[in-house]
Structure 1
Amino acid sequence: MRILISGASVAGPVLAYWLTRYGFAVTVVERAPALRKAGGHAVDLFRPAMDIVDRMGLTEPVQARKTGTEWLTFRPENSGRPHSLEIGKLMRVVSDRHVEIMRDDLGEIFHEATRSDVEYLFGDSIASLAETAGGVDVTFEQGPARRFDLVIGADGLHSNVRRLVFGPESRFSTWIGAYLAVMSIPNYLGLRDRMDGVTGVNRMVGVYGGAHLDDARAVFLFRPGAPLDYHHRDVDRQKQLLREQFAGLGWEVPRLLGRELDNASAFYFDSITQLRMDTWSRGRVSLVGDAGYCPGPAVGGSTSLAVVGAYVLAGELAEARGDHTRAFPAYEREIGDYVRRSRTFAVGAAKRLIPADRLGLWSLIQGVRLINHVPTPIARTLTDLGARGLRLHDEVALKDYPHRPVTKADAPR
């Protein structure tokens, strides 16, 4: 069976790896002209995702590329007193297993594991999809038209496949009250094992480096109270909004919003938005990762969810011997609870990470002190983190799937 995947970031290559292992013929199309190798921003892999990395034989390269961030230091707005938190201790409250890695580094590792067995088409995108008896006719913006048995959208929050098959993004997206901006800057603070920043009411800024980065990343999270008016391609307008939202915050923020923002080598700005769809499949097309169920960038563990989703989708297709009418519903049932709990957690995380008032800021500081000074099991209990679903990743049980490759004889008729 021939399967086309749109998107070569994280979910796409993971899905391609497992589909190829099960005997499917896989093509991955990616709009970018080449694999992104700028580092991207830091993402988290929690226990179920790392267990899948183990099964892929990629634990060593993933561990070797982890960011090495060990401390988080922040100072409250209008206060010079910093508070520090050991990242490892915080993450042990969240998960028994965790790796932080730059997103593009992770994508490069997954690509390297699949490039010899998977056809990659860089610098192209799907222009149209037409399902006919026994397959999907696909036209591309650049290459010739081709026919596939199935098409999977792994092309992120602003998925092109989702738009073509399910309709405009506005039908499924829900803004959860916050925005995220990330920019690449020189590491003038000399940060390697630490994120340093400042937190105020409805806004926070952090700067971090990485063990394998020559530069640094500045991260901005804020809650403006109402949706902002801008076009997703209007970078000048986005930078103007960022300056307005963080005016007067202090610390390194004036420099970050001045020369560093003007000269940033890479800049990302987007709303923290959830996708809420009743189904991620229609006919011979399905969605995986942020394309189908983004819980919210930076707050919902979307990278781990994407890795697990890709693993499950491939496994269900293998178990159903390529019959998408069985595999797609089974995939949605298997991953559904994880998706719903991630959505719920993301809404609460956005509120806790970006305090809405002085009381919330005070509570954030007290939470840091609590985690710093008591053993991890006690911290979990006293802060009632479990009831808020903070350990939702570790509660995911991975299903074992068959290893016998799917053959032509298995193809549904």
Structure 2
Amino acid sequence: MQTVLVSGGGIAGLTLAHWLRRNGFAPTVVELAAAPRRGGQAVDIRGVALDVVDRMGLTGPIRAARTRMRGMSVLDADGNEVHRSTEATYSSGRLDSDDVELLREDLVALLHEHASEGVEFVSGDSITGLREDEHGVHVTFAHGAPRTFDLVVGADGLHSGVRRLAFGPEERFLRHLGSHVAIFGADNFLGLEDWQVWQRDGHAGYGIYPVRGNRELRITFGYGSDEPAVRDMAVARRQVAERMGALRWETPRLLAALERAPDFYADVMAQVHLDRWSVGRTALVGDAGYCASLLSGQGTSLALVGAHVLADELGRERAAGGDHRAAFTRYEERMRPFVALNQALATENPGGPPAEESVERAKHAIALDR
């Protein structure tokens, strides 16, 4: 049985592991975090990605875990409502859509449980070296003993270590979109009930929505800047506080919550663009290969669909007695038009959401069966 090492235990990696096992491979998932990561934003599953989770038998659990927003308010700098909608929200789009919004941590937990059978998991470790020959890819790890796999797939996000090792430094592939984002959780000290609020003043602003039966908040800070990503979260926390400090309304309370949040995360808004997503026996999937950024609203769907298509092509080639190179080529041929349309959503309307027509076109722009 062919072995595949998947770097990254997030949405793309877990989905890929599930479909690889279904297609007759022996997947191993290596994840830097010692335990499933908590926190993070609400994510959307749209269009064709809904078909992927349906084929996994997860439609019921995912819909049960969805957020339950009734609408949103847009506020001015002093907290006065200037717009409200009970038809759509900035985070999930139209509320009468079949699309599903749920917390990233809930989706990862469901995928992890679903992928556990027949998948080897290695937690608290990371890949430090890749050396390929005719026998496979010889992999070294930060902590574990070296091992050899038939194939390696990087599903390790925007700052992918596999991409750096196999393709080169990330500066060659990241396209900065001119803004930064920070996400963290807090108690629902604003008393929001299934209702989002969004506030913006100049080049900075935030979105806030309740989760967990309105017991908690998820808070997203955003501000314009062309500065590179800060990977030290303690430094990033101070930087975010400085950038957001001039905002009014509930900003002091939000900054106090930021200071004590255990799940704080910050990064640049950026996309990944490569001329190819595979080299030799190594390939990329999800954000590692074609991050569309939070601004697109389609990162999760790209991860789910990309993982399904890659595993599907590898399975077809395995059944036909072929090799991985043809499968990687077809994976790219099928996914690139889909990726291009979804990445374009992030830049279609700077400072605002893309048109509904563009989202509808992009989320359906691929077929799972060929």
TM-score of the two chains, using structure 1 as the length reference = 0.83
Name the aligned partner's letter for residue 290 of structure 2: Y
Deviation at 1:134, TM superposition (A): 2.9
**Corresponding position of 2:359:** 390
In terms of mean alpha carbon deviation, does 317-326 or 209-218 score higher?
A: 209-218
In 2, Cα distance between the equivalents of 1:262 and 1:147? 43
**Corresponding position of 1:367:** none
In 2, Cα distance between the equivalents of 1:251 and 1:299? 28
Name the aligned partner's letter for residue 397 of structure 1: I
**Corresponding position of 1:232:** 231
Name the aligned partner's letter for residue 173 of structure 2: F
Distance 1:52 1:61, change over 3 A: same
1:14-53 residue pairs with structure 2 within 5 A?
14-36=15-37, 38-53=38-53
| Equivalent residue in structure 2 for 1:268, among 265, 270, 273 | 265
1:319-334 residue pairs with structure 2 within 5 A?
319-321=316-318, 323-334=323-334
RMSD (Å) for aligned C-alpha atoms: 2.2
In 2, Cα distance between the equivalents of 1:207 and 1:385? 22
Q: What percentage of residue pairs aligned between the two structures are identical?
A: 39
1:89-238 residue pairs with structure 2 within 5 A?
96-212=97-213, 214-224=215-225, 227-228=226-227, 231-233=230-232, 235-238=233-236
In 2, Cα distance between the equivalents of 1:337 and 1:11? 19
**Corresponding position of 1:297:** 294
TM-score of the two chains, using structure 2 as the length reference = 0.92
Deviation at 1:400, TM superposition (A): 2.1
In terms of mean alpha carbon deviation, does 273-282 or 262-271 score higher?
A: 262-271
Tell whether the 8 Å contact from 1:67 to 1:210 is kept in structure 2 after alignment.
Answer: yes
Name the aligned partner's letter for residue 110 of structure 2: I
**Corresponding position of 2:244:** 246
Name the aligned partner's letter for residue 14 of structure 1: T
In 1, Cα distance between the equivalents of 2:36 and 2:213? 18
Which has the larger helix fraction?
A: 1
In 2, Cα distance between the equivalents of 1:298 and 1:58? 26
| Equivalent residue in structure 2 for 1:280, among 277, 281, 295 | 277
| Structure number, greater radius of gyration | 1
In 1, Cα distance between the equivalents of 2:40 and 2:79? 31
Tell whether the 8 Å contact from 1:66 to 1:211 is kept in structure 2 after alignment.
Answer: no
Unaligned runs of at least 5 residues, structure 1: 354-382, 402-413
In 1, Cα distance between the equivalents of 2:304 and 2:146? 29
Unaligned runs of at least 5 residues, structure 2: none
Tell whether the 8 Å contact from 2:89 to 2:196 is kept in structure 1 after alignment.
Answer: no
Q: Where in structure 1 do 4 or more consecutive aligned residues deviate above 6 Å?
A: none
Count matched residues. Answer: 365
Name the aligned partner's letter for residue 236 of structure 2: Q
Deviations 1:60-95 (A, max 9, x none): 111111122231212122462342222558867599
